[in-house]
């Protein structure tokens, strides 16, 4: 099971409705935090999540609204005597901003217009350079799906006792009499072997975003401005996207679902339905991120 939790979905300045950017992806012991704006630690506490559970922190860029919550998180971990490794990934010179602590593992990223693998394990992390006014990384998380969907009929036909079904479901082979039964014998294919989650960070629309978001199951896209309120060209000069920009990138990338985030502080609740209408008109599987939004995939 994969859970995406939006701790903050605002931009630049927090308001009463939106905290600053921070998104947590959870899967089987992995807790990957994408950006850590001011207030991230408080939002984790509100949701009952200990900072000691975090395994990775991915920083899109070093603007204050995406970064200012990080040092407080690290200080708390130090006070709680953390010893398990924490991997922090971000643009250079992120290492210069961080204290030298034994549990920190820091990976600095250079600009790249081709998708690059950062880490490969149960969750594979990739990045590409986004379109902002400082170096900014868009990230993709590739999470391996189960080998397939367990088919009880196939197991029964092969005479597999019910007590052995769980082992097959978990990818282990079992022996029934003189015959070795493999997971492939009783599982139906799930198609794509990976679940793909993409977070753009702050960005204008463009080719690199489409590249990394190709066939994403979930695309979390900068949507700082509402079309008609701010001209698209003006938004792009600032290194941001409008709602329609996010939709166009999602359509071109063949994404399965779209979540709009990094909503400007100028927009209160009266505007949120306008963001939704903008998105779902062209891309029905869209939603607007809110503080505390939790999705289970």
Could you list the pLDDT tens digit for every one of the 297 residues in the chain? 899 999 999 999 999 999 999 999 999 999 999 999 999 999 999 999 999 999 999 999 999 999 999 999 999 999 999 999 999 999 999 999 999 999 999 999 999 999 999 988 889 999 999 999 999 999 999 998 776 778 999 999 999 999 999 888 777 899 999 999 998 899 887 667 899 999 999 999 999 999 999 999 999 999 999 998 888 899 999 999 999 999 999 999 999 999 999 999 999 999 999 999 999 999 999 999 999 999 999
CA atoms of 235 and 223, how far apart (whole Å)? 10
Residue 61 is labelled as binding a ligand: yes
Measured between alpha carbons, how far is residue 96 from residues 58, 64, 202, 218, 254 in Å? 16, 15, 22, 33, 38
What's the whole-model pTM score?
A: 0.89
**Do 154 and 221 belong to one domain?**
no
Asked if residue 175 and residue 140 are part of one domain, the reply reads no
**77 plus 153 within the same structural domain:** no
188 catalytically annotated? no
CATH code of residue 133: 3.60.15.10
Same domain, 176 and 244: no
Full residue range of the structural domain in which residue 48 is found: 3-145+192-296
Domain limit, last residue, from 135, 157, 187: 187
Cα–Cα distance for residue pair 229/208, rounded to 1 Å: 26
Q: Is 63 annotated as a binding residue?
A: yes
Closest CA to 257 of 227, 219, 296, 290: 219
Who's near 1: CB < 8 A, 6+ residues apart? Answer: 27, 28, 296, 297
**166 and 258, same structural domain?**
no
Does one domain contain both 210 and 261?
yes
Burial class (CB in 10 A: 0-12, 13-18, 19+), 277: exposed
Kindly state whether residues 9 and 22 are assigned to the same domain: yes
* Calpha distance 272→270 (Å, rounded): 6
Residues 6+ apart with CB under 8 A from 270: none
Number of domains in the chain: 2
- Flag whether 236 is marked binding: no
The verdict on 197 and 118 lying in the same domain is yes
Which residue among 35, 65, 222, 249 is the active-site one?
65
CA dist 257 → 31, 120, 142, 220, 295 (Å): 22, 24, 15, 9, 12
* Structure tokens given for 278: 């903008």
Annotated binding residue at 27? no
Give whole-number Cα distances, 84 to 80, 90, 290, in Å: 11, 20, 31
Structure tokens at 133: 């006014």
The verdict on whether residue 262 carries a ligand-binding annotation is: yes
Tokens found for residue 249: 């990138």
- Enter the tokens of residue 176: 């029934």
């Amino acid at each position: 099971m994969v859970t995406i939790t939006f701790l903050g979905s605002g931009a630049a300045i927090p308001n009463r409705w939106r905290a600053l950017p921070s998104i947590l992806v959870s899967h089987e012991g992995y807790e990957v935090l994408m950006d850590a704006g001011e207030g991230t630690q408080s939002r984790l506490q509100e949701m009952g999540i200990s900072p000691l559970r975090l395994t990775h922190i991915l920083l899109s860029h070093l603007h204050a609204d995406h970064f200012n919550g990080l040092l407080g998180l690290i200080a708390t971990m130090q006070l709680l005597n953390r010893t398990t490794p924490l991997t922090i990934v971000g643009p250079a010179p992120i290492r210069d901003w961080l204290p030298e602590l034994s549990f920190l593992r820091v990976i600095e990223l250079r600009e790249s217009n081709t998708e690059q693998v950062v880490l490969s394990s149960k969750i594979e992390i990739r990045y590409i350079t986004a379109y902002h006014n400082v170096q900014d990384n868009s990230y993709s998380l590739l999470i391996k799906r189960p080998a397939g969907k367990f088919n009880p009929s196939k197991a029964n036909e092969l005479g597999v006792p019910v007590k052995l079904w769980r082992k097959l479901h978990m990818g282990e082979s079992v022996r029934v009499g003189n015959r070795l039964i493999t997971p492939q014998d009783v599982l139906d294919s799930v198609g794509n072997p990976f679940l793909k989650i993409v977070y753009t960070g702050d960005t204008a629309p463009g080719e690199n975003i489409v590249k990394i978001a190709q066939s994403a199951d979930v695309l979390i896209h900068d949507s700082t401005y509402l079309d008609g309120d701010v001209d698209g060209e003006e938004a792009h000069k600032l290194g941001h996207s409008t709602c329609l920009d996010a939709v166009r990138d999602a359509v071109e990338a063949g994404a399965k679902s779209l979540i709009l985030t990094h909503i400007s502080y100028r927009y209160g609740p009266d505007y949120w339905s306008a963001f939704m209408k903008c998105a779902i008109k062209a891309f029905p599987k869209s939603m607007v991120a809110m503080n505390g939004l939790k999705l289970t995939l």
